[in-house]
Structure 1
Amino acid sequence: MTVTARVLDVLGAFSEEHPELTLTEISRRTGLPLTTTHRLVGELTTWGALERAESTRGAGAGPYRIGLRLWEVGALAPRGLGLRDHAMPYLEDLHEVTRENVQLAVLDGAEVVYVERLSAPDAVSIRSRAGSRLPATATAVGLAMLAHADPELVDAVLAAPVRRFTTRTVTDPRTLRHLLGEVRRTGVAISDRQIELVSQSVGAPVRAGRGPVVAALSIVVPAAANPHAYVPAVLAAARGISRALGPTT
Structure 2
Amino acid sequence: MARSTSGESVMERVLRIIEAFDVSTPVLTVSEIARRADLPVTTAHRLVNELVDLRMLERAGPYQIRIGLRMWELSSRSSRVVRLRDVALPFMEDLHAVVRQHTQLGVLDGDEVLYIERLSAPGSMANATYVAGRLPAHACSAGLVLLAFASADVREEILSQPLARYTPNTVTDPQQLRKIFADIRVQGHCLADSMTIPNAVGAAAPVFDANGDIVAALTIVVPSDADRIVGHIPALMTAARGISRTVGIAGFNLTLPLASDTKFLAIHRKNRR
**Same fold? TM cut 0.5:** yes
Separation in structure 1 between the aligned mates of residue 211 and residue 236 of structure 2, nearest angstrom: 17
Separation in structure 1 between the aligned mates of residue 78 and residue 184 of structure 2, nearest angstrom: 28
The answer to whether the 8 A contact 2:167-2:198 is kept is yes
The answer to whether the 8 A contact 1:21-1:63 is kept is yes
Other-structure match for 2:219? 218
Deviation (angstroms), 1:13: 2.2
Separation in structure 1 between the aligned mates of residue 186 and residue 132 of structure 2, nearest angstrom: 30
Q: Relative to structure 1, is the Cα distance of residues 193 and 103 closer, same or farther in structure 2, using a 3 angstrom cutoff?
A: same
Alignment partner of 1:180 is 2:181: yes
Other-structure match for 2:45? 38
Other-structure match for 2:19? 12
Separation in structure 2 between the aligned mates of residue 27 and residue 201 of structure 1, nearest angstrom: 37
The answer to whether the 8 A contact 1:114-1:129 is kept is yes
1:1-150 pair list within 5 angstroms: 1=3, 2-53=9-60, 60-76=61-77, 78-150=79-151
Supply the RMSD in Å over aligned alpha carbons.
1.8
Q: Relative to structure 1, is the Cα distance of residues 31 and 145 closer, same or farther in structure 2, using a 3 angstrom cutoff?
A: closer
Q: Relative to structure 1, is the Cα distance of residues 104 and 22 closer, same or farther in structure 2, using a 3 angstrom cutoff?
A: same
Q: Which moved more, 1:128-137 or 1:18-27?
A: 18-27
Other-structure match for 2:246? 244
- Cα-to-partner distance string for 1:158-212 (whole Å, 9 max, x where unaligned): 1211122212111111111111111011001111111111211000000114622
- Where 2:232 maps in the other structure, the secondary structure is helix
Separation in structure 1 between the aligned mates of residue 123 and residue 81 of structure 2, nearest angstrom: 27
Separation in structure 1 between the aligned mates of residue 157 and residue 110 of structure 2, nearest angstrom: 9
Separation in structure 2 between the aligned mates of residue 127 and residue 163 of structure 1, nearest angstrom: 16
Alignment partner of 1:203 is 2:210: no
Deviation (angstroms), 1:126: 0.7
TM-score, length-normalised on structure 1? 0.91
Separation in structure 2 between the aligned mates of residue 63 and residue 155 of structure 1, nearest angstrom: 41
Unaligned runs of 5+ in 2: 4-8, 253-273
Q: How many residue pairs get matched? A: 243
Other-structure match for 2:256? none
Amino acid at match of 2:95: L
The answer to whether the 8 A contact 1:210-1:242 is kept is no
The answer to whether the 8 A contact 2:23-2:132 is kept is no
Separation in structure 2 between the aligned mates of residue 185 and residue 225 of structure 1, nearest angstrom: 19
The answer to whether the 8 A contact 1:101-1:123 is kept is yes
Other-structure match for 2:230? 228
Amino acid at match of 2:205: A
The answer to whether the 8 A contact 2:30-2:63 is kept is no
Separation in structure 1 between the aligned mates of residue 74 and residue 134 of structure 2, nearest angstrom: 18
Deviation (angstroms), 1:216: 1.1
Amino acid at match of 1:32: L
Q: Which moved more, 1:71-80 or 1:38-47?
A: 71-80
Separation in structure 1 between the aligned mates of residue 111 and residue 10 of structure 2, nearest angstrom: 28
- Where 1:246 maps in the other structure, the secondary structure is helix
Separation in structure 2 between the aligned mates of residue 239 and residue 215 of structure 1, nearest angstrom: 12
